[in-house]
Amino acid sequence: MGSHFDEWNAQLVDHLARRSADPALAFERDPNVGADEPSILLDKLIKKGEALWPKVRDWIHESVEAKRPTIIEGEGPSPRNVLDASENPDVRGVFVVELSAETLYDTVHLRSEAFRLLPELERSNVVEMNVQYGDWLREACDRLGLRWLASQPWGTLRERCADALRIAVVRGYS
């Protein structure tokens, strides 16, 4: 997809999900969502990605038409949808997966006050859901012949993504 992060698009995806009345997008506003079993949370996360896909697909097409490199980051695009979008030779995808539950916990704990306020069982459910999501992504990518990378080591992720996408690393981009 590209060599720089299009923050406007990423912020709009999150904004769209927070505002939407679509149950597939609105589940995160449920204050008790973390009490769901990890497999139920995973199903909701996958449905959220499917519900967001039409907007993400539009951004991909707009970016290609404008010849504007764009990286779409975050949970959402399924490997099947990325495979379909990558039929266009100007669209490339790589999935980044965190393999360590401990690192997932530490990262979410650091970045999310809402996560820190959850009871321990709910924090555990959210982390396990993310582990299952990573497993689902890796299995789907392997089945479809798509690339995925382990997120660690962080220090080389930019170069590894660029190599997987076969693009030149732009200096000063992180």
| pTM for the predicted model, two decimal places | 0.81
Q: What is the pLDDT along the chain (174 residues), one digit of tens a residue?
A: 333 444 445 445 566 666 666 766 666 667 777 788 999 999 988 988 898 888 888 888 988 999 887 777 777 789 999 999 989 988 888 999 999 999 999 999 998 888 899 999 999 999 999 999 999 999 999 999 999 999 999 899 888 988 988 865 554 443
Task: Confirm if 44 and 60 have CB atoms less than 8 A apart.
Answer: no
Task: Confirm if 60 and 82 have CB atoms less than 8 A apart.
Answer: no
Task: Confirm if 120 and 30 have CB atoms less than 8 A apart.
Answer: no
C-alpha distances (whole Å) from 151 to each of 59, 148, 155, 161, 173 are 25, 9, 9, 10, 17
